[in-house]
Structure 1
Amino acid sequence: MHRPIPRTLLALLGAGLLGGAAQADEPTSYGWIEKATIEPWGTEVKVKLDTGALTSSMQAEEIEAFERDGEDWVRFTTEVEDEATDEVVSKTFERPVFRDLRVIGAGGEESRSVVLMTLCMGETLREEQFSLEDRDDMNYPVLLGRRTIQGLGSVETTRTFLHEPDCNDDSPVKSHAEKEYDEDIGV
C-alpha cells in the first residue's frame, strides 16, 4: 500500500532543512562573483564566473616566453588588489606552457599561453587552466570560464560572495589539468 508523503515533509526536503543524503549529492552553488586566493601566493582576489567565456583567464603582464630543459615556459607578473588588505600587490610567476590558445573575437585573432594555476575557492584547491591576459582594464583579475565552472556546481546569477576562501594543507585538490584542447574559438 502506497502512502503519500505529507506536504510539510516535502516542503522541508525541498528547502534543504532536513539533512541526509538528499543534500549530500547536490552540487555546491556559487555566486557570479566570488573571492578566491591565488595559491601558493595566498593573495585574495575577486573572481567572475562567466558562463559566456569558454576558457578561464588571469591577470598577467610582462609576459615573456622562454625555454627550459627543451620545454616552453612563460614568465609573467600578476598585479592585483589583495581583497584582504586592499593593497595592490604583485608577484612574478614562471610556469610551463600547458597549451597555446587561439582566440578569435571582435578585435581579430590572437594567441595566448595557457598555464596551470591553483586557486582556493571555498575549502577546495582547484588546479585550472588559465590563459594569460592583461586584464588591467577589467573589473575582475580572474575570470572562470565554462570549462572550469562545469566542475564547480551551479552559478546563481543574482548572488555574489557565497563562499570565502578557506584552504589549508588538508584541503582537497581538484584538477582539470588532464584535459587538453586543440583549439578554442573565442574565450
Structure 2
Amino acid sequence: MTRWKGWAGGWGLLLAGLASAPTLADEAPVFGWVEKASLEPWGIEVKAKLDSGALTSSLDARDIERFTRDGERWVRFRLDLEDEATGEVISETLELPRYRRVRLRGAGGEDSRPVVLMDICLGGTIYEEQFSLRDRGDMLYPLLLGRRTIGHLGLLDVTETFLTDPECDADSPRVPHDPDEE
C-alpha cells in the first residue's frame, strides 16, 4: 500500500512539472500527414504527403535527363502537376544543378535518382529543400516530404490533414538549405 502511494505521488509531481514547462508544441507549427504546399517561385499548389519513413523528399518529375553545363552536373525535367487551387494542369520544363544523387535498393533492384534543391511554401514560410526526382504518376501525392524536410517544418500530427495553407509572398521568411545538416 505504501509503495502505491509513493508511486502515485511521483506521477503527480511529474504531471505538475510537465504542465508548467514550456513545450516545443507552444513554439513549433504543427502539420498534418497531408498538407497543401506550393512550389516556388511558380506558386503551383499540390498535395504533399509528410512521410517520416522516407529520408529524402521526392517530387513527381517526367522526362528526366542528366547533362553537363560548364563542367557541372545538371538535370532537365518536366513537371506536369495539377494546381490544387485552380484545377489547371501546369506543364513546366526545368533545368537545375544536380545537388547530389541518391541510390535506393529494394526488391526491384537498385535505383539512382538525381536530387535538386527547390523552394516550397508551407504555411507562411518558404523552405529550400532537397528533392529526389522520380516519376510519381502512379502515386496519389505528387510531392512527398521526408524526414530531412519534416525536421525543418515543426511537428507532425499523423492523425490530422490540411492544418495549414501555403500563404507565401515576397516578404515570407525563407529557410535556406543547410548542407551541414546532412
Q: Secondary structure in 2 aligned to 1:149?
A: helix
Kindly indicate which of the two structures has a greater share of residues assigned to helix.
2
**How many correspondences in the alignment?**
165
Instruction: Note the aligned Cα RMSD (angstroms).
Output: 2.2
Kindly indicate which of the two structures has a greater share of residues assigned to strand.
1
Aligned to 2:124: 123
Separation (CA, whole Å) in 2 of partners of 1:156 and 1:101? 28
Separation (CA, whole Å) in 2 of partners of 1:29 and 1:81? 25
Percent identity of paired positions between Structure 1 and Structure 2: 59
Deviation beyond 4 Å, 4+ runs, structure 1: 21-25
One-letter amino acid of the counterpart of residue 47, structure 1: A
Structure 2 portions without partners, runs of 5+? 1-14
Larger radius of gyration: 2
**Is residue 63 of structure 1 aligned with residue 64 of structure 2?**
yes
One-letter amino acid of the counterpart of residue 33, structure 1: V
Aligned to 2:136: 135
Aligned to 1:83: 84
Asked whether the equivalents of residues 25 and 155 of structure 2 are also in contact (C-alpha less than 8 Å), the reply is no
Asked whether the equivalents of residues 47 and 142 of structure 1 are also in contact (C-alpha less than 8 Å), the reply is yes
Report the Cα offset of residue 106 of structure 1. 2.3
**What TM-score, normalized to structure 1?**
0.82
**What TM-score, normalized to structure 2?**
0.84
Report the Cα offset of residue 107 of structure 1. 1.6
**Is residue 165 of structure 1 aligned with residue 172 of structure 2?**
no
Report the Cα offset of residue 158 of structure 1. 1.1
In structure 2, relative to structure 1, the CA distance for the partners of 1:24 and 1:153 (3 Å cut) is: closer
In structure 2, relative to structure 1, the CA distance for the partners of 1:159 and 1:114 (3 Å cut) is: same
In structure 2, relative to structure 1, the CA distance for the partners of 1:177 and 1:92 (3 Å cut) is: farther
Which of 57-66 and 86-95 deviates more?
86-95
Aligned to 1:4: none
Q: Secondary structure in 1 aligned to 2:149?
A: helix
Q: Secondary structure in 2 aligned to 1:148?
A: helix
**Is residue 34 of structure 1 aligned with residue 35 of structure 2?**
yes
1:126-150 CA deviation, whole Å, 9 max, x = no partner? 1000000000000000000011101
Kindly report which structure 2 residues correspond to 1:91-110, keeping only aligned pairs within 5 A, or say none: 91-110=92-111
Q: Secondary structure in 1 aligned to 2:33?
A: strand
Separation (CA, whole Å) in 1 of partners of 2:27 and 2:102? 33
Separation (CA, whole Å) in 1 of partners of 2:105 and 2:177? 23
Separation (CA, whole Å) in 2 of partners of 1:35 and 1:165? 6
Asked whether the equivalents of residues 129 and 177 of structure 1 are also in contact (C-alpha less than 8 Å), the reply is no
Aligned to 2:48: 47
1:11-67 CA deviation, whole Å, 9 max, x = no partner? xxx6xxxxxx87895211100000011011111000000011111000100001111
